């Protein structure tokens, strides 16, 4: 019984994601110009990106903890959370691409013209470089220290690329470059009843996957040191 109680948040993750998927397709959505039924992607694309950002924050915090404590467990947790965050980022980019094709036209109309899309691509490249950097350093402590410092730089750049720059320039995304946000697009209470559970569900799922990868890394380290 204690095992099930201890892992309640994992079951909650599954319930919330299942709820978001089912209701995301069944709930009545506002008939808005251009968006139409594609607004249902609000329950998938946006929550996945929110979850990615939260996972990157967890990675950053653990990187900073490593710098202050030297505990390798913080480094392991930092890199695994970043790894899951990047996978979520790729899923978010894929769902965003589908959405953009239906609402903004051909790829050439938005891929190189929208600053948030470009910022997302640059931000992903920054974190890909993070993993390349880790793989190029053999000394464990040196790798952990340099990675933690780079993580601070990478997170700051990612935040600037996808949150700050699009708000300073013209952007196709809602809430950026003078475009109205989803609140102005009739983000009513019915949509919020699906949107926020989806954010929580995907975030918990990411943490769950990251914790599994973290435990696997601990086991591998134990076998290598024995």
User: What gap in Å lies between CA 48 and CA 195, rounded to an integer?
Assistant: 11
Residue 89 lies in a domain: yes
DSSP 127-146: HHHHHHHHHT--SHHHHHHH
The pLDDT profile of the chain, 226 residues, written as one tens digit per residue, is: 454 567 888 999 999 999 999 998 998 887 776 667 778 888 999 999 999 999 999 999 999 999 999 999 999 999 999 999 999 999 988 888 888 777 776 665 666 667 777 888 888 999 999 999 999 999 999 999 999 999 999 999 988 888 777 777 666 566 554 444 555 444 567 888 999 999 999 999 999 999 999 999 998 888 776 6
The backbone torsions φ and ψ at residue 71, rounded to the nearest 5 degrees and listed phi first, read -80, 120
User: Containing domain of residue 114, as a range?
Assistant: 50-225
**Residue in the structure block whose two tokens are 């024995």:** 226
- pLDDT the model gives residue 116: 77
User: What gap in Å lies between CA 187 and CA 195, rounded to an integer?
Assistant: 10
The Cα-based distances of 49 to 166, 167, 176, 199, 206 in angstroms read 15, 17, 16, 9, 11
- pLDDT the model gives residue 170: 66
The number of folded domains in the chain is 1
Residue 41 lies in a domain: no
- pLDDT the model gives residue 107: 60
C-alpha 131 chain-centroid distance: 16
The Cα-based distances of 40 to 22, 35, 140, 159, 183 in angstroms read 11, 9, 45, 25, 15
Residue 145 lies in a domain: yes
- pLDDT the model gives residue 175: 52
- pLDDT the model gives residue 174: 61
Which residues lie closer than 8 Å to 144 by C-beta, 6 or more apart?
66, 72, 75
- pLDDT the model gives residue 185: 47
Residue 18 lies in a domain: no
The conformation of residue 172, written as its DSSP 8-state character, comes to S
Residue 14 lies in a domain: no
Inter-residue contact 196 to 150 (CB < 8 Å): no
């Amino acid at each position: 019984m204690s095992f099930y109680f201890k892992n309640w948040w994992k079951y909650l993750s599954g319930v919330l994601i299942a709820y978001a998927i089912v209701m995301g397709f069944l709930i009545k959505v506002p008939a808005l110009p251009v968006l139409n039924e594609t607004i249902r992607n609000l329950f998938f694309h946006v929550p996945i990106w929110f979850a990615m950002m939260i996972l990157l924050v967890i990675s950053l915090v653990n990187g900073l903890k490593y710098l202050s404590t030297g505990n390798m467990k913080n480094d392991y947790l930092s890199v695994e959370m970043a790894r899951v965050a990047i996978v979520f980022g790729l899923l978010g980019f894929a769902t965003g691409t589908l959405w953009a094709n239906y609402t903004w036209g051909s790829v050439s109309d938005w891929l190189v013209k929208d600053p948030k899309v470009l910022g997302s691509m640059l931000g992903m490249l920054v974190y890909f470089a993070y993993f390349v950097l880790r793989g190029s350093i053999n000394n464990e402590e040196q790798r952990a220290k340099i990675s933690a410092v780079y993580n601070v730089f990478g997170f700051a750049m990612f935040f600037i690329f996808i949150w700050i720059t699009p708000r300073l320039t013209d952007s196709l995304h809602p809430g950026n470059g003078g475009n109205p946000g989803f609140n102005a697009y009739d983000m009513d209470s019915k949509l919020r009843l699906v949107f926020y559970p989806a954010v929580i569900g995907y975030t918990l799922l990411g943490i769950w996957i990251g914790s599994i990868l973290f435990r696997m890394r601990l086991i591998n380290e134990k076998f290598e040191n024995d």
